Structure 1
Amino acid sequence: MADEWKAPNTEQNNGGTGDERSWKLLEKALLASVQEQRRSRRWGIFFKLLAFIYLLGMLALFSPLANWEKAAGKGDQYTALIDVRGMIADKEDASADNIIGSLRKAFEDSKVKGVILRINSPGGSPVQAGYVYDEIRRLRAQRPQVKVYAVITDLGASGAYYIASAADEIYADKASLVGSIGVTAAGYGFVGTMEKLGVERRAYTSGEHKAFLDPFQPAREDETRFWQGVLDTTHKQFIAQVKQGRGERLKDKDHPELFSGLIWSGEQALQLGLIDGLGSSSFVARDLIKADDIVDFTTEQSPLDRFSKRLGASVAEHIALWAGFSGPTLR
């Protein structure tokens, strides 16, 4: 067929130099296009990341204004609300720094008529709880006209009750869980597992008892007695603070199980004198403080702080907790 198309013969077309040159130019153009698209995507990702960081920065900058905005629309007097949520520990939402900062802001506000600590926590560090306990008593002594009420919602146990006992009065729901006045420090022992696996533990220390909490070595009787003594001392401190805070309101200070670590319902806690009554935060604000308007003074982390906290979580800290190297915990 005369009009049938035939592929160009590069070997017969001046040595193929024309077609080869065309294909090379086309190849270069395609590569340049791909590279340009890659550069565009990189710049797009860069500017999106920059905008995200800017947004987080602006949120972090303006978050301190939240409490002012909440209080701006309120009347001459109002009730300050501070949430104590989750584990009481350093760098957590319920850390001593956060709670104490909120308490100080509330007591410095001349319009605050009373303060409610709304508690929903299983407890935590005796040190953190002790810091908050001492600060509540200090602030109450400075401004005795501003009453502090602890209101336990679902759970106010151990270190959380430690904090609550510093308040003027404690309230809870009839079904709330209250108490658990005790101390615990738990870990694991892997000695038998290592023997079965044929793994030999080699620990080098300076000091006879330096590795006494090592879960990969057998527990020694003398070290177990020592550690129990540490927990017993912390427990005695806990009991002393509760007795100081509650005073004569404890119905039976010699009750054999009151400080045993058991936890009680709100109804039982009322009978034992662990709380002063049954009621919610709204009830306390309306009927006791006589200031219906509630302003939240809880310290809240900015989105940037939350992001940084998650990003910078310490792996070593989690391994230490898992292996049993954590200190005593109020539970």
Structure 2
Amino acid sequence: MSIRSRLRKLFRRPARPLVTVLRLSGVIGAGVGPMRGGLCMESTAESIERAFAPDELKAVALVINSPGGSPVQSALIGNRIRALSVEKKVPVVAFVEDVAASGGYWLACAADEIIADAGSVVGSIGVISAGFGFQDLIAKLGVERRVYTAGRNKAMLDPFRPEREEDVERLKSLQLEIHQNFIDWVKSRRGDKLRADDDTLFTGEFWTGKRGLDLGLVDALGDVRTVMRARYGEKVRLALVETRKPWLARRFGLSGSSLGAEVASAVVSAAGERSLWGRYGL
């Protein structure tokens, strides 16, 4: 090593502490298309990897703003975050913005700590399924519904046929299984931090961040910049890791018919997403 190199090494300024910031915003679901935002394993896998990639990383901060969605995609994303945290030996801190409810709270539980704003919405540890029944409408319109299946329950809960009690019971049994998975995940991640019984926490109810602190659903109140600077110093570097954003048909690369179908699908999807956000007054 030359004298110049030795001097540079000797007088080199110490590196600023680095914290990567990964934003997880939107409804969680597998159907993320070119005109729709949202979260799924496909859209977040690369950004999660990049969040854990830097050397000498102090922590990964998850900034969460999600009303929930698919339990499967929530689990896939949460498991990937946990696996990399253990592999890289890097702590993860979740920061709740407006809402981390249902699947959004599932994502928050992937972190070692959960920090929320006092007015954030947290919780909603439950499972919901909603739809409409159109059998009376099509009868008034004089429309005959024709369904042909191989398998007695293949057309279960068809919205254009009268609801059957056995179908509802089957759906409820599935919901109970998924709900129990959710409960097990929260208990495994939060452990003794939870300060309320199951009848309070796991009913699907949601609370403000301030009340969530009392219940043990969150660990502290604050925001990512304030907390990270207090923890790692004023010179901490917060590096935002961008998630993949929706693209508009690859700069209109879809055919007219494909683009029209995507627009129609996006409109229907947006209505469903609007109802999810609306549950929390957002």
Larger mean CA deviation between 112-121 and 90-99 belongs to 90-99
Residue in 2 that maps onto 1:262: 205
Residue in 2 that maps onto 1:55: none
Residue in 1 that maps onto 2:122: 178
Which of 64, 69, 73 lines up with 1:128 in the alignment?
73
C-alpha deviation, 1:86, in angstroms: 0.9
C-alpha deviation, 1:88, in angstroms: 1.1
Q: Please give the residue correspondences for 1:6-17 in structure 2 after superposition, counting only pairs within 5 Å.
A: none
Residue in 2 that maps onto 1:195: 139
Flag the 1:171–1:320 CA change in 2: closer, same or farther, 3 A: closer
Q: Please give the residue correspondences for 1:27-176 in structure 2 after superposition, counting only pairs within 5 Å.
A: 75-90=15-30, 91=32, 92-144=37-89, 146-176=90-120
Which one has a bigger Cα radius of gyration? 1
5+ unaligned residues in a row in structure 2: which ranges? Answer: 1-13, 273-279
The answer to whether the Cα contact below 8 Å between 1:122 and 1:159 also exists between their aligned partners in 2 is: yes
Flag the 1:203–1:321 CA change in 2: closer, same or farther, 3 A: farther
Flag the 1:209–1:239 CA change in 2: closer, same or farther, 3 A: same
Flag the 1:228–1:283 CA change in 2: closer, same or farther, 3 A: same
Is 1:272 matched with 2:212?
Answer: no
User: How far apart, in 1, do the equivalents of 2:141 and 2:229 lie?
Assistant: 64
The answer to whether the Cα contact below 8 Å between 1:78 and 1:113 also exists between their aligned partners in 2 is: yes
Deviation per CA, 1:231-274: give whole Å up to 9, x if none.
Answer: 1110100110011111111112x241211111100111000000
Flag the 1:197–1:305 CA change in 2: closer, same or farther, 3 A: closer
User: How far apart, in 1, do the equivalents of 2:65 and 2:143 lie?
Assistant: 44
User: How far apart, in 1, do the equivalents of 2:163 and 2:217 lie?
Assistant: 37
Residue in 2 that maps onto 1:230: 174
Which of 226, 231, 248 lines up with 1:283 in the alignment?
226
Which of 257, 262, 281 lines up with 1:313 in the alignment?
262
The structure with more helix, counted as a fraction of residues: 1
Deviation per CA, 1:15-42: give whole Å up to 9, x if none.
Answer: xxxxxxxxxxxxxxxxxxxxxxxxxxxx
Flag the 1:318–1:233 CA change in 2: closer, same or farther, 3 A: farther
Flag the 1:179–1:302 CA change in 2: closer, same or farther, 3 A: closer
Larger mean CA deviation between 169-178 and 93-102 belongs to 93-102
C-alpha deviation, 1:75, in angstroms: 4.8
The answer to whether the Cα contact below 8 Å between 1:174 and 1:267 also exists between their aligned partners in 2 is: yes
Which of 174, 188, 191 lines up with 1:247 in the alignment?
191
SS in 2 for 1:211: coil
CA root-mean-square deviation: 2.7
C-alpha deviation, 1:141, in angstroms: 1.4
Larger mean CA deviation between 312-321 and 182-191 belongs to 312-321
Match for 1:108: what amino acid?
A
User: How far apart, in 2, do the equivalents of 1:115 and 1:218 lie?
Assistant: 50
Match for 1:139: what amino acid?
L
TM-score, normalisation: structure 2: 0.80
The answer to whether the Cα contact below 8 Å between 2:17 and 2:232 also exists between their aligned partners in 1 is: no
User: How far apart, in 2, do the equivalents of 1:193 and 1:302 lie?
Assistant: 36
